[in-house]
């Protein structure tokens, strides 16, 4: 199976799908006004994202099983915005995200309703970020997902993990579980690094070294529209066993989780 080429017909069809998706977001935003922030609003995210995946043509496949232990911190690689739409449907729970998203019109408000905890990643705010993670893990009974690369990549590799937030593992006694994300065409066909960067990945070329495959920049809205033109794709979510982290400091924890996730990611590519 090859990536579908853009033409007049699938562009018009994608425009219609985007129109209905925007209406869906508007209707759900009104519903969220009447749902209090908390466990109920987080559960509602599952329903919301299921609708979003339908309009974008998203499918996902899960192998492995999340631990039943709580608090549970799931550590994932980060390629695209679509990890944020598939993980809640697959597992429930919510995310830790970068603080900038909280200022986005409507999106920031919806994310807060869905239990997303925004973290200021600047080194001078490391203690505040650590406390935000700790307080959330202490207070919820659902899994929280974090992307310790600090940004999305072009999918050709996994970026080294930032160690600053892994202090929280010792302070909360949280169980840590690695999760590996791969992107495929809808029939499961593997995607080349070049096609992944050009069509599926989402990142800011100005803020990172994206290696040999640097796609043109798209904002989140245009990335969603582009995927609709392509007809969607498959997200493979592989849940790995929880590693033993006892006695390790935050740098050692970050390095160990990086090696586990990076090795499995490159192996499955």
For the stretch 232-255, pLDDT in tens is: 999 999 999 999 998 899 999 999
Residue numbers of the domain that contains 70: 8-268
pLDDT of residue 107: 85
CB 269 within 8 A of CB 182: yes
Task: At 44, give phi and psi (nearest 5°).
Answer: -65, -25
Among positive and negative, which fits the CA dihedral 37, 25, 230, 194?
Answer: negative
E-strand stretches of the chain: 59-63, 72-76, 94-98, 117-119, 144-146, 175-184, 234-239
Cis peptide before 247 (omega within 30 of 0): no
Tell me how crowded residue 42 is: count the other CB atoms within 10 A of its CB: 20
* Residue 45 domain-assigned (yes or no): yes
The total number of structural domains that make up the chain: 1
pTM assigned to the model: 0.90
* Residue 154 domain-assigned (yes or no): yes
Residues 6+ apart with CB under 8 A from 133: 73, 96, 117, 119, 144, 146, 165, 168
pLDDT of residue 154: 82
Angle between helices 39-56 and 8-32 (to 10 degrees): 170
| CATH number for the domain harbouring residue 70 | 3.40.1130
DSSP-derived 3-state class of residue 74: strand
* Helices and strands counted in the chain (H then E): 9, 7
- For the chain, what is the largest distance between any 2 Cα atoms, rounded to a whole number of angstroms? 59
* Residue 76 domain-assigned (yes or no): yes
CA distance 191 to 10: 21
DSSP-derived 3-state class of residue 164: helix
* Residue 3 domain-assigned (yes or no): no
Q: State the DSSP code for 15.
A: H
CA distance 180 to 44: 25
CA distance 80 to 194: 15
pLDDT of residue 147: 94
- How do residues 173-205 score in pLDDT, each as one tens digit? 889 999 999 999 998 999 988 888 888 776 554
* Residue 198 domain-assigned (yes or no): yes
* Residue 68 domain-assigned (yes or no): yes
Q: Which residues, given as ranges, of the chain have pLDDT below 70? A: 121-126, 129-130, 202-218
* Residue 1 domain-assigned (yes or no): no
DSSP-derived 3-state class of residue 20: helix
* Residue 2 domain-assigned (yes or no): no
């Amino acid at each position: 199976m090859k990536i579908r080429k853009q033409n007049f017909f699938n562009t018009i069809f994608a425009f219609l799908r985007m129109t209905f998706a925007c209406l869906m977001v508007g209707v759900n935003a009104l519903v969220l006004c009447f749902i209090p922030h908390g466990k109920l609003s987080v559960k509602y995210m599952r329903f919301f994202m299921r609708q979003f995946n339908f309009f974008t043509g998203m499918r996902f496949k899960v192998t492995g099983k999340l631990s039943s232990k709580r608090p549970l911190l799931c550590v994932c690689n980060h390629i695209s915005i679509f990890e944020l739409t598939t993980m809640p449907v697959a597992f429930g729970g919510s995310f830790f995200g970068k603080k900038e998203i909280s200022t986005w019109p409507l999106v920031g408000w919806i994310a807060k309703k869905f239990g997303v905890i925004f973290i200021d990643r600047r080194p001078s705010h490391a203690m505040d970020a650590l406390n935000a993670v700790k307080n959330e893990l202490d207070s919820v009974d659902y899994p929280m997902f974090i992307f310790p690369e600090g940004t999305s990549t072009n999918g050709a590799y996994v970026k080294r993990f930032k160690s600053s937030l892994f202090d929280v593992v010792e302070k909360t006694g949280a169980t840590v579980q690695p999760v590996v994300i791969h992107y495929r065409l809808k029939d499961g066909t593997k995607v080349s690094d070049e096609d992944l960067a050009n069509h599926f990945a989402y990142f800011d070329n100005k803020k990172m070294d994206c290696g040999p495959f640097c796609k043109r920049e798209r904002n989140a809205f245009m990335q969603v529209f582009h995927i609709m033109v392509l007809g969607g794709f498959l997200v493979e979510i592989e849940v790995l066993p929880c590693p033993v982290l006892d006695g390790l400091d935050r740098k050692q924890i970050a390095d160990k989780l990086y090696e586990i996730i990076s090795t499995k990611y490159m192996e499955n590519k």
